[in-house]
Amino acid sequence: MKNSMIRLFSGLVLLFVFTVASAQETDPVILKVAGENISKSEFLNVYQKNNVNGEVIDRKSLEEYMELYINFRLKVKEAEQLGLDTMRSFIDELAGYRKQLAQPYLIDEGMNKSLLQEAYNRKTEDIRASHILIKVDRNAPAADTLAAYKRIMLIRKRIMKGEDFGKLAMENSDDLSANDRTIENRKIKGNRGDLGYFTVFDMVYPFESGAYNTPMGEVSMPVRSDFGYHLIKVTDRKPALGRVQVAHILLRIPPDAKASDSTAVAAKAMEAYNKVISGEDFARVAEQYSDDKSTASKGGVLPWFGANKMIPEFIKEVSAIKNINDVAKPFSSNFGWHIVKLVDRKEIGSYEDNLSDLKQSLTRNDRAKKSEEALLNRIRKEYKFSQNQKALNAFYNVVTDTIFSGGWKIEQAAGLKKKMMTIGSRTFNQQDFAQYLFKNQRKRNKEDIRVYVNSMFTTFVNENCLAYEDSRLESKYPEFKSLVKEYRDGILLFELTDRKIWSKAVKDSTGLEAYYNNHKNSYMWDQRLDATIYTFTTTDDKILSEARKSILKGITDNELLGMINTDSTSVLSIDRRKFLKGDNALIDEIDWKPGMATETATKDKVTMIMVNEVVKPEIKKLNEARGIITADYQNYLEQEWIKELRSKYPYEVNREVLSAIK
């Protein structure tokens, strides 16, 4: 809300578009305010960016806008004179907005588009794959990494010679799910490396890419992720399931079941299936047969899911169902026998349909590193980045294992003062990097010093490259500079206007009352009707007759309510107030004359109206019109404030330049 108001105030009444005669002409000063020169292009830019209707300017409108723009610049100048632009709250708020505004400039647009298209293409296909994992830490020494690579390559050779992938996964994979295991006294059957179906964003990006780039039935070369090395075997590829909702019936097979038991469960599943296809309600059959008690009472309906949320046998069968309300034949899994009915399906949709979600997922996914890498490469090239490897090597001897417990002392690098890297006009020496190491040390697992120092230096380089690019955005992109200035001026204007106008008008009760007393004749009620509406939710003649007589005798509202309504019944409600034309349809229809009006009755309700008085036009009390009076008082305060500013600060319009605008 405040964001929008800031931009609204910074734009003022931005309604017009202007055409500049030639891009080659000079940019003359069109306005001077308290020593600040406002150029013609700056003045025009505000209109050109905000005039969405493309209205043609006329001379009168141009003059009117210039007056508004003068007021705007005077208010900003006053905020600066009061030091609002030096307040910590202002500096922090502007920095927050600038950070948001800078984000589109700190990405590689080409790489982003490529990643988004790649993600959509992958989203249209579900993959089923198995893997073998050999763990190795992403910061492991080169020797450990090489050993892990050699080990997984030996396993791949065995697979290529014909050995069973699943068997080798059980024997070698560091993914514990490959083998049978017991968790909380519950036996879980190993998956032999089978990960089931998945789609884009379900796996870490290197693994996802390895899977999508491997043909069905083949085994990938080792794929490196933060977890280690993977061998990936793609066992199925199919059009994307999208998101579906199904109803199911589950018939469990006991853990210690014999062959005869399994056969009996299969027969029972077929019996349930036959009932469904013969026309019996699926929900009733689910309630009668299903062993999934959490859904049996709900017709067997499961929550919406995608390809990665169910066992592969389930996904495969659901994917094969073509039409809504079709039911798949019974199929088995490790859980038992299943009967599935397709309730609803949400297709993937077009690229444009998915673009917003893809962008959000991209920012949260590790593939965003590719976009950052592309940006960093461009920055290094553009600003002629260079580094001194020997200066980095010196840290291998001064950084000790104490850094992994947060106890490394910067004094250990006191003798290191050589230049380490240069980007553009900025140079960083060894002490800059030493300070970075000192400030960012924390308790962590020990690792090879060389690996740690190299990793930290890479991060140090990347952060400073991005910071350097960020520091140059205003000089590289005039539209960014203009936008930041717009937010700056908007924040100042918002804060000062709140102090001088909005909050003051609300809090200054004395000033508000004085303004009201001087302008009270501007706040008049039209003619009103003082009337009482009696609404009875009964047609009982005895009750209505008694009430009618009492009203004509002048009984008070409270006495009448006490007489008609009892503890057991409440049939009467009363509404007495002063009505304007248009407030109430019944009041509008009756004659505005004192006395009892004609009653209206429906099947179960009777309405009586007593006209008490026709009230002549009169002045509204302050509390009766506080909202509009406060708004008018705010306008009055602003007008007085503008008079004060115009007398306080000098300003001058270059009429010749203004008149030349076409």
- The Cβ of residue 98 has, within 10 Å, a number of other Cβ atoms equal to 17
More confident residue, 65 or 528: 528
CATH 3.10.50.40 matches 125-239: yes
pLDDT at position 6 over 70: no
Q: Could you give the C-alpha distances from 507 to 494, 504, 510, 518, in angstroms and in order?
A: 17, 5, 9, 19
pLDDT of residue 3: 58
pLDDT at position 609 over 50: yes
- The whole-angstrom separation of Cα 363 and Cα 360 is 5
pLDDT of residue 557: 95
pLDDT of residue 65: 84
Residue pair 235/164 in contact by the 8 Å Cβ criterion:
no
Calculate what percentage of the chain has a pLDDT beyond 90.
Answer: 81
- The Cβ of residue 552 has, within 10 Å, a number of other Cβ atoms equal to 11
Instruction: Note whether 125-239 and 243-347 share their fold.
Output: yes
Region 21-46: mean pLDDT is 79
- Tokens (6 digits) for 322: 């073509």
Domains of the chain, residue spans: 1-81+484-518+625-662, 125-239, 243-347, 383-473, 524-619
Query: What does the DSSP 8-state code read for residue 261?
Result: H
pLDDT tens-place string over residues 162-178: 999 999 999 999 999 99
pLDDT at position 410 over 50: yes
Quick one: 229 exposed, middle or buried, by C-beta within 10 A (0-12, 13-18, 19+)? buried
pLDDT at position 192 over 60: yes
**Band of residue 279 on the pLDDT scale cut at 50, 70, 90:** very high
DSSP H/E element including 467: helix 449-471
pLDDT tens-place string over residues 128-139: 999 999 999 988
- Tokens (6 digits) for 197: 């179906």
- Tokens (6 digits) for 279: 């026309």
Region 27-39: mean pLDDT is 92
Amino acid at 274: N
pLDDT of residue 566: 84
Residue pair 318/312 in contact by the 8 Å Cβ criterion:
no
pTM to 2 decimals?
0.70
- Tokens (6 digits) for 565: 């309504």
pLDDT of residue 16: 30
Region 451-463: mean pLDDT is 96
Amino acid at 118: E
Q: Which residue has the tokens 């073998």?
A: 132
For 343-382, give the DSSP string: EEEE----HHHHHHHHHHHHHHSTTHHHHHHHHHHHHHHH
- Tokens (6 digits) for 278: 């013969």
CATH 3.10.50.40 matches 243-347: yes
More confident residue, 257 or 385: 385
Strands 336-346 and 243-252 turn out to be antiparallel
- Kindly give, in sequence order, each residue whose CB lies less than 8 Å from that of residue 174, ignoring residues fewer than 6 positions away: 133, 134, 135, 228
- The whole-angstrom separation of Cα 69 and Cα 406 is 56
Radius of gyration for the chain, computed over Cα atoms and rounded to the nearest angstrom: 39
Q: Which residue has the tokens 């960020």?
A: 470
Which of 590, 484, 477 lies closest to 532, judged by CA?
Answer: 590
- Tokens (6 digits) for 552: 């004509």
- Give strand pairing partners of 652: 32
Quick one: 159 exposed, middle or buried, by C-beta within 10 A (0-12, 13-18, 19+)? middle
What's the sign of the alpha-carbon dihedral 396, 400, 401, 406? negative
Q: Which residue has the tokens 């009076």?
A: 629
Which of 358, 347, 448 lies closest to 118, judged by CA?
Answer: 358
pLDDT tens-place string over residues 55-93: 666 677 788 888 989 999 999 999 999 999 999 999 999
C-alpha 384: how far from chain center = 37
Region 406-412: mean pLDDT is 96
- Helix 478-497 × helix 59-81 angle, to 10°: 70
Return the exposure string of 379-404: e unless at least 16 CB atoms fall within 10 Å of the residue's CB, then b.
bbeebebebbeebbebbeebbeeebb
Quick one: 232 exposed, middle or buried, by C-beta within 10 A (0-12, 13-18, 19+)? buried
Q: What are the two backbone dihedrals, phi and then psi, of residue 505, each rounded to the nearest 5 degrees?
A: -65, -35
**Band of residue 51 on the pLDDT scale cut at 50, 70, 90:** low
pLDDT tens-place string over residues 336-347: 999 999 999 999
pLDDT at position 225 over 60: yes
DSSP H/E element including 530: strand 528-536
Instruction: Tell me if residue 195 falls in helix, strand or coil.
Output: strand
Residue pair 128/312 in contact by the 8 Å Cβ criterion:
yes
Mean pLDDT, the chain, whole residue set: 91
**Band of residue 556 on the pLDDT scale cut at 50, 70, 90:** very high
Which of 292, 283, 391 lies closest to 337, judged by CA?
Answer: 292
CA dihedral 36, 39, 41, 46 (to 10 degrees): 30
C-alpha 354: how far from chain center = 15
- Helix 40-50 × helix 2-11 angle, to 10°: 130
Return the exposure string of 192-222: e unless at least 16 CB atoms fall within 10 Å of the residue's CB, then b.
bbbbbbbbbbbbbbbbbbbbbebeeeebbeb
Q: Tell me which of 18-22, 270-274, 329-333, 559-563 is least confident.
A: 18-22
Q: Which residue has the tokens 């609300």?
A: 506
Q: Which residue has the tokens 């038992």?
A: 336
| Angle, CA 52 vertex, CA 49 and CA 53 arms, to 5° | 135
pLDDT at position 378 over 60: yes
- Kindly give, in sequence order, each residue whose CB lies less than 8 Å from that of residue 429, ignoring residues fewer than 6 positions away: 391, 417, 418, 419, 420
**Band of residue 262 on the pLDDT scale cut at 50, 70, 90:** confident
pLDDT of residue 15: 32
Residue pair 130/246 in contact by the 8 Å Cβ criterion:
no
C-alpha 120: how far from chain center = 20
- The whole-angstrom separation of Cα 244 and Cα 240 is 11
- The whole-angstrom separation of Cα 521 and Cα 516 is 9
Residue pair 136/226 in contact by the 8 Å Cβ criterion:
no
- Kindly give, in sequence order, each residue whose CB lies less than 8 Å from that of residue 627, ignoring residues fewer than 6 positions away: none
**Band of residue 9 on the pLDDT scale cut at 50, 70, 90:** very low
